[in-house]
Chains A and B, each alone.
Chain A
Amino acid sequence: MTTSSEDVLLQVPQVRYKKGDGTLFLMDQRLIWMVENRDTVALRKFPQKEKLKYNYKLCFIMVSRRRFILPIVDRELEEKNKLLSSNPALLQLYKDLVMTEVVSSEEFWAQHASQYTQKQKQQPQDIGVSGAFLADIKPQTDGCNGLKYNITPDIIECIFKTYPAVKKKYVENVPAKLSESQFWTKFFQSHYFHRDRKYAESKDLFTECGKIDDQEMKKDIQSGVSDPLVNITEFEDKTLDEGYGVATEKTNVNIGTVSQAMIKRFNQHSIMVLKATKKSSEQNETEVKNAPKHNGNVNEVEKADEGHVAKKQRIQSKITYDDLDTGNDNSNVSGTSLNLSKVERYLHGPMPDSSIEQLNPNEASTVLRGVLQETRQWQSRHPTSSLVSPAAAVGALGELSPGGALMRGFQEQSLAQLVPSDIENEVRNLYLALCELLSHFWKCFPPNTPNLEQKAVKMHEALHRYHTAKLKPFEDKLIRELSPLSHHLTKHLNQLLNAAYQKFSNWQKIKNR
């Protein structure tokens, strides 16, 4: 079976057939069920012309009729499971809404999870190359003066991404001339890797790589930076000279070659890294555009035009501030002038009008007379009159003691401390679920189309179900466990629900008129 000329088109493990577990192979010409490499039971031969018509799903339907019990590999279910496991918020919503039968499962996936499923379709970002990946390949000493490097396919890919010259060499040499391990051994031994840069002498596989790199660098330097607003040649260190003038440091051309080589290596590495990332983004762009331009001349001319326009745009964007300029630009369009209807309202302050009455003279005189009578009694002292009756005093003290009527402010502050954290979590989940339902409900209004009307009715029923299935049990639980808090915590939730019910009943009334 190892050198069979048939291709295995599909392989499904753990299939049950006639009381045994095995693997089902769908080959080019045959359908085979195999138990642990021992017996093969050739089951069906596909006639030549029909085999192309079969798609795998039909095959399985056929197969299932022959008393196969297949594990249900529903791709959609797998996706859903993955979504749920990677998004804890979605999982919580699912638990709250679907498991308590407030919203059916299809509705859930259609409405509530739609933004999550769409997110997946976006392209995931490529993981970039870490800057230190070469340094991370820590060699292990092999005991007797040798070093052992462990390279994973990931590392190999990183090396290829960063050093395309190495990739070229690899393609040329492996597996024709060298085996993989030999290639990599040579790589690490090469002076290319160790970068002492006296590579002109040794006849290494990789000396060419160094030369190729140098050529690339020269080409890059000559082509220069395409951005017209960046002037690299003017990059110099300017330091303070005597008398606070500006002095440019003259670079010493005769710097030792070692440090020059280091600088060269760093620059090269940076350029490679940039190129590696640019490549992947360019590939994406060309895929999207779907119309690669082949004509070189057209390309350049267009690029020049675009460059000109882009340069102007960039300069323009740097010298203008949007919010400061609108005044100058719209001088001909005057804003609406401010019409103040009652100016004196602005002079006196914004307090809501409270009733200030003037007493009519009769009332005024009565009041005055009463007050003056009182004052006449003030001349003589009544030392025996008590100012506060004991009952009133005790009542006042009761209100002012902790827990009294006037000391309620403390209760508000400590509400956060009185609520245990699991109740807090439950309240949070209740809010999430309810807000999700309510957002769909309110989106249905005003119901212009029959679709929206239906949806409104359905959401209303869902809200009712939510109320009975989730909110009421929670309130009952609260009353049993934490009686003083029961109303505070769910008051707002009830308010939200009542507003929705009200809107719905109003709408029904209007509709049925």
Chain B
Amino acid sequence: MNNLEIPPEVTPEFTSTDETSLLVIIVDSNPSQKMLRDNPHVLTHCIDSVIAFANSHLMQKAQNKLAVMACHSKTSEFIYPGPNKPLDIRQIDGQYEVFTAVERTVKQNLAKLLVNEKSTLVTESLLAGAIAMALCFIARIQRTKAPGSRLNSRILVVTGSGDSASQYMNYMNVFFTAQKQGIVIDVCALDQHLSLLQQGCDITGGLYLKVPQLQGLLQYLLWVFLPEPPIRQKLVLPPPVKVDYRAACFCHRELIDIGYVCSVCLS
């Protein structure tokens, strides 16, 4: 009988196989995004890629967890796990039931959300609020996890919107909260460069990627965003580009290099 004995002085390593990885994907589903206005089929492509990516995440480890949110100009909602009771799934095509469940739930709930969209559309999406909701979800999961198990969490924001100036304060709040909690924020920008979200990635230690071509979206997602944070140190991933941290003047809303700072509110 060969029993592998670990010598007593070597403490057993806590490898990443013991850690649960929680991924929250925030999909910007605002129909008035520029890329969707030009070609609505992009939405299908994005959603399919995101679902494939989510399933790959679940495939990494049995204990991995997933949540998907949809966000646009008026609301943000969890579409997986959805608000309704889980769908009854039977096996189709030999696909793993969980994957089928993910796919079906996401598409169904998102369609419902878009159908209910009636009023005027604004090109701004409430991403800061969605990130805040994701942070709350992660906090809840962390509170209710089994004692002794470890959990690393990250938020992936997939968006085609531009930077929204009015949410500056909210963004800063969620970024610093995430940094405090040790939650990594990744950003996948599909259309325009997002300097604000890039700062958030920088603060929390996440990755910011502006996808050069939409056709290979799934490939980019799988390569860059699939590894969980503890493993990322061992991989060669796109290095962070120098972030433009210049503050903007509060009265003129222009980026400046040298200026006066209020000693009370730091504006």
Contacts and interface: CB of A to CB of B under 8 A. Distances in A.
A254 interface: no
Minimum-distance CB pairs A-B, first 5: A349-B168, A409-B239, A351-B165, A396-B216, A370-B40
Contacts of B52: 387
Contacts of A408: 241
B216 A409 contact: no
Given A358-B121, A368-B121, A407-B239, A396 B166 contact: no
Interface residues of B, number: 64
A351 B253 contact: yes
Given A348-B165, A357-B123, A340 B251 contact: yes
Instruction: Give the one of A349, A377, A409 with max B CB within 10 A.
Output: A349
Contacts of B251: 340-342, 345-346
B233 to A, nearest CB: 15
Q: Which of A357, A368, A397 has the most CB of B within 10 A?
A: A368
Nearest to A358: B122
Nearest to B42: A374
A348 B251 CA distance: 11
Interface in B145-163: 162-163
Interface in A345-404: 345-346, 348-359, 361, 363-364, 367-368, 370-379, 381, 383, 385, 387-389, 392-393, 395-397, 399-400, 402
B120 A361 contact: yes
A235 interface: no
B41 A374 contact: yes
B121 A359 contact: yes
Interface string B246-263: 011111011100000000
A396 B219 contact: yes
Given A350-B253, A407-B239, A412-B242, A367 B219 contact: no
Contacts of A346: 250-251, 265, 267
A388 B215 contact: yes
Contacts, number: 163
B43 A371 contact: yes
B236 A350 contact: no
Interface in B5-52: 31-32, 36-37, 40-41, 43-45, 47-49, 52
A410 interface: yes
B231 interface: no
Given A354-B165, A373-B40, A387-B218, 8 more contacts: A346-B265, A351-B163, A354-B163, A367-B31, A367-B36, A375-B107, A392-B215, A393-B216
A377 B213 contact: no
B166 to A, nearest CB: 6
A357 to B, nearest CB: 5
